[in-house]
Amino acid sequence: MARKRTNKKQSLTKNIAMLFLSLGILAGASLLFSTINARPEFSYDPFGERWKSLVSSDPIRKEKPSGKAQASKSAASGFEYSYWDILLLQDSNSATDADSFSIQIAAFRSPDTARSFAAELEEKTRIRCTVADTGKWTVVRWGSFQSRETAERYCSKLSDRLQRECIVVKM
């Protein structure tokens, strides 16, 4: 019985042909777009205006500015925060007093488990937590707040983002 030999030259030939075909298509597309771009009857203005309205930091205002400042009604309430506000920002007046509050994310019996949980949480969500030993339990906490109200607002949003129940604790 004779074995069928594969011809490596044929596959090399096909690869070279595909390379030249790809280069030809690329050169043709480049020539086409440069020709279209050089002709004045083709305009990109509709696309440019739409692009500017999508990318621009200042929205186009159709109103004429008046001398009086008007109160604008916002859809967001005063207690709504963005995702990064909750995760990365802490109370600017973080307290060292006895009346400071923190958000407890988890509690473990083993300090090693608590540290590994905190490291995993930081890796996944960029939340830098503290691990504290309270005697029988080792807790994972985030933030330091002077008022319970501020801590509770952050706790609510943090619980939603982490999809686990967090609590506010007095430190």
* pLDDT tens-digit readout, 7-26: 556 788 889 999 999 999 99
Closest CA to 162 of 117, 133, 125: 125
Tell me the average pLDDT across 96-106: 80
| Residue-wise DSSP of 138-153 | EEEEEEEESSHHHHHH
Tell me the average pLDDT across 147-164: 89
pLDDT at 111: 94
Average pLDDT over the chain, rounded to whole?
75
In this prediction, what percent of the chain has a pLDDT beyond 70?
59
DSSP three-state, residue 60: coil
Which tokens hold the place of 88?
Answer: 């990365």
- Do 156 and 143 meet the contact criterion of CB atoms below 8 Å apart? no
What H or E segment, with its residue span, contains residue 167? strand 167-170
pLDDT at 117: 93
| Residue-wise DSSP of 108-126 | ESSHHHHHHHHHHHHHHH-
Position 91 pLDDT exceeds 60: no
pLDDT at 40: 63
Ranges of each domain in the chain: 13-54, 83-170
Hey, which bits of 48-129 come out as E strands?
A: 101-108
Query: Which class in CATH covers the domain with range 83-170?
Result: alpha beta
* pLDDT tens-digit readout, 109-141: 999 999 999 999 888 888 888 999 998 999 999
Interior/surface letters 87-126, b for 16+ CB within 10 angstroms, e for the rest = beebbeeeeeeeebbbbbbbbbeeeeebeebbeebeeeee
Q: How far apart are CA 38 and CA 124, in angstroms?
A: 49
* pLDDT tens-digit readout, 26-85: 999 988 888 777 766 665 566 556 656 555 444 444 444 455 444 444 444 444 555 555
Report pTM: 0.45
